[in-house]
Structure 1
Amino acid sequence: MEIEKPPVDRERIIPTGERRGLILVHTGPGKGKSTAAFGLALRAHGRGKTVKIYQFMKVPSARFGEHRVFEQLGVPIIGLGDGFSWKSKDLDHSAELASDGWAQAEATIRAGETFLVVLDEIMYPLRYGWVALEPVLQCLRERPAHVHVVLTGRGAPQELIDLADTVTEMAMVKHHFKAGVPAQRGIED
Structure 2
Amino acid sequence: MVAQLETPALQSPCNQPYPVEGLVQVFTCSHRSFFTSVIAQALRIAGQGTPVLVVQFLKGGIGQGHKHPVKLGQNLDWIRCDLPRYIDTPQLDEAETHSLSELWQYTQKVVDEGKYSLVLLDELSLAINFGLIPQDEVLAFLEKRPCYVDIILTGPEMPQALLDVADQITEIRRSHRL
Same fold, TM exceeding 0.5?
A: yes
Counterpart amino acid of residue 78 in structure 2: I
Higher helix share: 1
**How far did 1:164 drift?**
0.8
Further displaced range: 163-172 or 17-26? 17-26
Find the counterpart in structure 2 of residue 172 from structure 1: 174
Residue of 80, 85, 88 corresponding to 2:87: 85
Find the counterpart in structure 1 of residue 73 from structure 2: 73
Q: 1:81 to 1:133 in 2, by over 3 A?
A: farther
Aligned residue for 2:58, secondary structure, equals coil
Instruction: Please list the CA deviations of residues 126-154 of structure 1 after superposition, one character each: whole Å capped at 9, or x if unmatched.
Output: 11111101111111011111001111111
Distance 1:93 1:59 in 2: 13
Distance 1:77 1:107 in 2: 16
Q: 1:77 to 1:21 in 2, by over 3 A?
A: same
Distance 1:62 1:157 in 2: 30
Aligned residue for 1:145, secondary structure, equals coil
**How far did 1:30 drift?**
4.9
Q: Which runs of 5+ in 1 are unaligned?
A: 1-16, 64-69, 175-189
**How far did 1:121 drift?**
1.4
Instruction: Please list the CA deviations of residues 160-187 of structure 1 after superposition, one character each: whole Å capped at 9, or x if unmatched.
Output: 000011111111335xxxxxxxxxxxxx
Further displaced range: 28-37 or 102-111? 28-37
**How far did 1:86 drift?**
4.3
Asked if the contact 2:72–2:78 (Cα under 8 Å) also holds between the matched residues in 1, the reply is no
Residue of 134, 137, 151 corresponding to 2:136: 134
Find the counterpart in structure 1 of residue 12 from structure 2: none
Larger radius of gyration: 1
Counterpart amino acid of residue 38 in structure 2: A
Distance 1:117 1:95 in 2: 22
Asked if the contact 1:57–1:81 (Cα under 8 Å) also holds between the matched residues in 2, the reply is no
Counterpart amino acid of residue 55 in structure 1: Q
Further displaced range: 83-92 or 130-139? 83-92
TM, length-normalised to structure 2: 0.74
TM, length-normalised to structure 1: 0.70
Residue of 106, 118, 122 corresponding to 1:104: 106
**How far did 1:31 drift?**
7.1
Amino-acid identity (%): 27
Q: 1:128 to 1:73 in 2, by over 3 A?
A: same
